[in-house]
Amino acid sequence: MAKVGFDNQQYLQMQSQHIRDRISKFGGKLYLEFGGKLFDDYHASRVLPGFEPDSKIRMLEQLKDKAEIIIAINAGDIEKNKVRGDLGITYDSDVLRLIDIFRSRGLPVGGVVVTRYTGQPAADLFQARLEGLGIKVCRHYPIEGYPHNISKIVSDEGFGKNEYLETSRPLVVVTAPGPGSGKMATCLSQLYHDHKRGVVAGYAKFETFPIWNLPLKHPVNLAYEAATADLDDVNMIDPFHLQAYGETTVNYNRDVEVFPVLSAMFQQILGRCPYQSPTDMGVNMAGNCIVDDQACQQAARQEIIRRYYDALCERRQGKGSDSAVYKLELLMQQAGVTADIRPVVTEANRVARETGEPAMAIELPDGSLVCGKTSDLMGCSAAALLNALKKLSGAGGHGVHLIAQSAIEPIQTVKVKYLGSNNPRLHSDEVLIALASSANAEPKAAEALRALADLKGCQAHCSVILSPADEITYRKLGLQLTCEPQYQTNKLYHR
């Protein structure tokens, strides 16, 4: 288990105050481009132990008397039914999910901007659906020569053609279901229309990573590159900040590349550029809330190796590329990372070799290792989960049965006889159901269930690619999972 390395409460206070200060700097109104995940930032919680996955939305809650939300979505993504990989839902469905969550937190949604609209029928249907739900929708259009043709972009034929979304609060947070949704262009278009109306407003950007005041090759920043290996994002020294202030800070390639264009746009819209560098645009205070740098470095190195195994498995499944694997191998070299930092890798592979069957290893909070082997009753991930709960609850070791056979057999019967499964072995979620059904009659099973929370943050490794059902269960429990890039069988089709 990683030590706490990040002060979450300090972060909430410092970040919200910094945003208030930035609002004041621009005369009382700020468009804040919000990158990354607002509600479920598990990457940040893994590399900054102590950071809560919902920290960003909790920070915004501290500003809810000042804030309203605009959600941007690319019309092309609506047309293509683009899916969020982490949630398995389309971008347009995620817009509805986001609106519900914002409203439940007391944060009003000013409306939705459909960007790069060129008459896509699916976008028309989505707009009609939103408007039927009472949600304001505006269309933004492609601009020829964007982002380099400044005179065209900052004119009535560019931003001026976009529909304007009326906002009433000093902080307008612009977010989106995913990358490429047009958040920055939405902010700048709104700025252009505000300026024409005599409304004084400014722009800032909130991205958690890379952390600008950590070294370029700090493991936390390298872990961000690992997380975006498939996007070709690269951390780099901000040359504009270095030239303006003589201070070395870290940004990433896309913001550095687009800064001259942004600066020129600000000159056209506001008559001056309020920033000297991409770093100046940011409002991220995460680096100031690290209280144990070594703990964060250790957690980030674990994240890099996990991303490497993920990339290997995705390549094996035909969903990833060689280039992502090669980039991660380079990042591992830069961070001084090998599989040796994950004892669960060595242990799971050892048990698999000895038994000739798939094996799973889990590292418990005290550093001890428990394993699970494949048997007639359950898969290795289910067995490891059960063994881990036995040890955490003090229920006993080998030979102690927490689940009655009478609880297992009906599940196997339903799977094979009625659901058409060829595999009677219980998956991890099914074992938990069987454990819960045994808890009333077996006190040790009840104790084991109460130990489930202790698995959060534990490391786990499987000698084969897990089934989606087992993988989802492990991730829901908060286990930090890796797998070897190979299947249990040589079949071409796997579920």
DSSP per position, 196-232: HTT---EEEEE--SS-TTS-TT-HHHHHHHHHTGGGT
What local confidence, expressed as pLDDT, does residue 184 receive?
92
| 126 close to 192: Cβ distance less than 8 angstroms | no
pLDDT tens digit sequence for 211-253: 999 999 999 999 999 998 887 789 999 999 999 999 999 998 9
Please, what are the domains in the chain? Answer: 8-289 (3.10.630.10), 343-483 (3.40.140.40)
Of 139, 138, 163, 159, the C-alpha closest to 147 is 159
Q: What single letter denotes the amino acid at residue 408?
A: I
Distance CA 214, CA 210 (A): 8
Residue 179, both tokens: 């990358």
Q: What is the mean pLDDT of each run of 10 residues along the chain (495 residues)?
A: 87 95 92 85 92 92 94 96 81 95 94 97 97 97 91 93 96 92 94 93 93 97 92 91 97 90 89 94 96 96 96 92 94 94 96 95 96 90 94 78 78 81 84 87 89 94 94 93 87 50
Decide: residue 271, CB within 10 A, 0-12 exposed, 13-18 middle, 19+ buried: exposed
| 471 close to 482: Cβ distance less than 8 angstroms | no
What local confidence, expressed as pLDDT, does residue 362 receive?
98
Of 60, 73, 335, 339, the C-alpha closest to 224 is 335
